[in-house]
A and B are shown apart, each in its own frame.
Chain A
């Protein structure tokens, strides 16, 4: 199994631009999670899906953040407009039955 796949691995953008992060979960997993990790705040859960349906988006910091899961094999996290404080590593993870999450390699986002 290829594991969780994320793209791009690195993204550098200017403030105000739209950023789209992509994730392909492990085949057969029914949960998908988006996390953000910074030195100051650690690992934060942004949103998660069960069977493509958003269950809890209470961690999404602002309306500038949105996430979709149009099918079982693909999810996006969009930031529009981006701000320097959004700079972080964004992880996607998937699991079966909601436990034992397996993380992707992450996307390192830098907003200048």
Chain B
């Protein structure tokens, strides 16, 4: 079982609609979660981070975290064609090495989002 799972899509929504992207994770010890956007041929770009249960809003983006269900989501309101990209969910898992704790960021496979005019 993959540590961070996403539906690969593609998810297709009309312009102006709400796009909902979902992610589940397996490590209950994960404390921090991130959403990255990656345009074709480009590098991943950090767009949202969330650490506590509930919602976090930033402009048209809302990240939602439910640690009990091990579920993270990203909502994009008023979707635009320029939002068409692959969205990567990532979770920080705490690992131990040599007596030191550190966080390892694990990415899901990504969901391809297409917003059509």
Contact = CB atoms under 8 A, between A and B. Distances in A.
B68 interface: no
A33 B36 CA distance: 16
Nearest to A97: B103
A42 B88 CA distance: 10
A45 to B, nearest CB: 7
Given A43-B107, A45-B105, A98-B102, A105 B49 contact: no
Interface in B89-117: 92, 95, 97, 102-110
A99 B32 contact: yes
A105 B43 CA distance: 5
B102 A56 contact: yes
Range for the number of chain A residues in contact with chain B: 10 to 19
A9 to B, nearest CB: 11
Interface range for B: 20 to 34
Given A91-B44, A99-B103, A56 B95 contact: yes
B46 interface: yes
A23 to B, nearest CB: 12
Nearest to A42: B109
A65 to B, nearest CB: 18
Interface in A18-60: 33, 42-43, 45, 48, 50, 55-56
B-side binding surface: helix, strand, loop or mixed?
strand
A101 B43 contact: no
Contacts of A104: 43
A27 to B, nearest CB: 18
Given A101-B46, A101-B105, A103-B43, A43 B88 contact: yes
Contacts of B87: none
B46 to A, nearest CB: 6
18 contacts: A33-B105, A42-B107, A42-B109, A43-B44, A43-B110, A55-B102, A56-B95, A56-B97, A56-B104, A98-B92, A99-B34, A99-B49, A99-B92, A99-B103, A103-B43, A103-B44, A105-B42, A105-B43
Interface of A: 33, 42-43, 45, 48, 50, 55-56, 91, 98-106
